[in-house]
Structure 1
């Protein structure tokens, strides 16, 4: 086993924090365990040797590092109160005020796509009930190339679908083998995946009606959280919504967002 020295640990933590905003200061065991196989495969004898390669800005190796050190755990219908909010409050509001009949949603830190696809199916259900003429587009972004590939493939295990209604399985999924399901093309055409580092300037994008950023900011320090929240504020239309994880909060004195209910905020 290749051991991670104190100095090597600090080097990795500082590199990931400074470049990607992710705080790994309490993840020493995770770093050591997940990166061991990468070092062994390359015949390296120390983490310092590997970080020399990373600091040469080798893009393929940086992708490997981020894929190993970011946790992409999610499932369909996670934190269902948010999807109830979309169905009972957000979408009825859109019917009243959104004269474009175009709804734009961003799933930031989307992992392997379950959040974006769940949102899409909620919208498809809602607008299929005698509400013609509406279009909706969902942007799904994550820093992990592995997560992006999984989202684009749109194939999921039966375990990750345990909270999905049977009507959705019939309407929106195609069974693959014995215990996997693929999102059908009607759903997939509404969702676009794009790799994005939230700590870098956002590329040119139109403003959104709603942004998800759930269970992402727990990996950032407070200063980076505040910066990111304010960037989201600018990316929302007036009256747009930001949904964060139920274990997360926004400091009221550091943001112009209006608190509506736990984990739901609105741009004034």
Structure 2
């Protein structure tokens, strides 16, 4: 029997078991044979081995979970329909910026509602860029020929006048962010129609991200598809849209001194 034990457990355990068996240990009212003691020790060893295996299994499971999470993030691209007023999404994106926060959109209505979050990022040293269209009469009329939706009524002169006032107010409120102490702030306006909106997080960093909203002809911006791009798994599309953003930015006029 002990020859078998020597093959499956360390020799020191064999010595302990043999000693305990020879002692024929007794407690008041109880008597344990060497076989019972050996069985008990083997049971303890088995439990200990089981616990070790469970811990190892959990460690492996945690590592697999981390790998799955990384793979999920790296393959997180895709087109989904979203609403422009989806403030939780915008707030999460803005709050996640650590190095850079680049935002571009025709009106930036949703962004204006997140001024406090942008101020917070600036105070934490984040580089912020804001881009929107220049609210000229001509440009708003051009948008009226292409865009539809509940936010702006651009089909008549009165609607275009209200839209211009609102965009001018958005522009002025965004310009005021220049006074926030911390990171760097730039704002420009583009005298062209913007067919895409952008939120670029931490450009140039390893975990950089980009949301692109595609504005479609005679379709409401509230149902415009959003492409969430990863620079690794979507390298080609990332490059295409980054070049488009940079072209917008390069041709825009600076409004912050």
Q: Do Structure 1 and Structure 2 share a fold, with TM-score over 0.5?
A: no
User: Which protein has the larger Cα radius of gyration, Structure 1 or Structure 2?
Assistant: 2
TM-score by length of 1: 0.30
TM-score by length of 2: 0.31
User: Larger relative contact order (C-alpha < 8 A, sep ≥ 6)?
Assistant: 2
